[in-house]
Amino acid sequence: MEEADRQIEAQEATRRAFDRHYERLFRLALVLTRDPYEAEDIVQEAFIRSSGRLASLPEDEVVPYLRAVVVNGWRSRMRRLRTLARHIPFLATPVREGVDLDAAHDLWKLVLSLPPRQRATVVLRYYEDLSEQATAEVLGCSVGTVKSQLSRAIEHLRRRYHDEDRA
């Protein structure tokens, strides 16, 4: 089978699986995340990650496979949130009922207000969960620069967060 035929078959298998199982997987992700936007992202990522594999699975293995991908995607997001909570406690959004989405949005607006280099460092280190070394490699700088950028960014965020909290 030619590569083009394999790609078409993979696309068709993904489309069939999406049409048949999206709602079920979305409900699962929604129960896990309690956030419809996060749930939708996780399910869409699951289909993207699985697209090359679905054509080779027997029909009765598609849902268990996709379910595992959804749960693993959710776990990955939870790890990122724990990393945020550990390193920047006030940026972590608890995954529970009663989450103040406006406050979480305000905090992320503060991250977006950082100078570009600091913002990139914070996002790569804590959101993407890269090590200091990997962050330095992506940014093309030294580990010391990553540490100093993070220190400045965190101090800036703390100051701005507390200033806005008092306002």
pLDDT digits (tens, 9 = 90+) for 6-60: 888 889 988 999 999 999 899 888 888 778 998 999 999 999 999 889 989 998 9
Report residue 162's pLDDT band, with 50, 70 and 90 as the boundaries: confident
Percent of the chain with pLDDT over 70: 83
If one looks up domain 3-78 in CATH, what number appears?
1.10.1740
Q: Which of 167, 166, 154, 163 is nearest to 90 (CA)?
A: 154
Domain ranges of the chain: 3-78, 88-166
Q: Comparing 3-78 with 88-166, is the CATH topology the same?
A: no
Query: Where residue 131 falls among pLDDT bands split at 50, 70, 90?
Result: confident
Q: Which tokens is 19 given?
A: 């049409």
The reply to whether CATH 1.10.10.10 applies to domain 88-166 is yes
Q: Rounded to whole angstroms, how far apart are CA atoms 81 and 102?
A: 17
HSE, CB side, 13 Å, CA atoms: give it for residue 69: 23
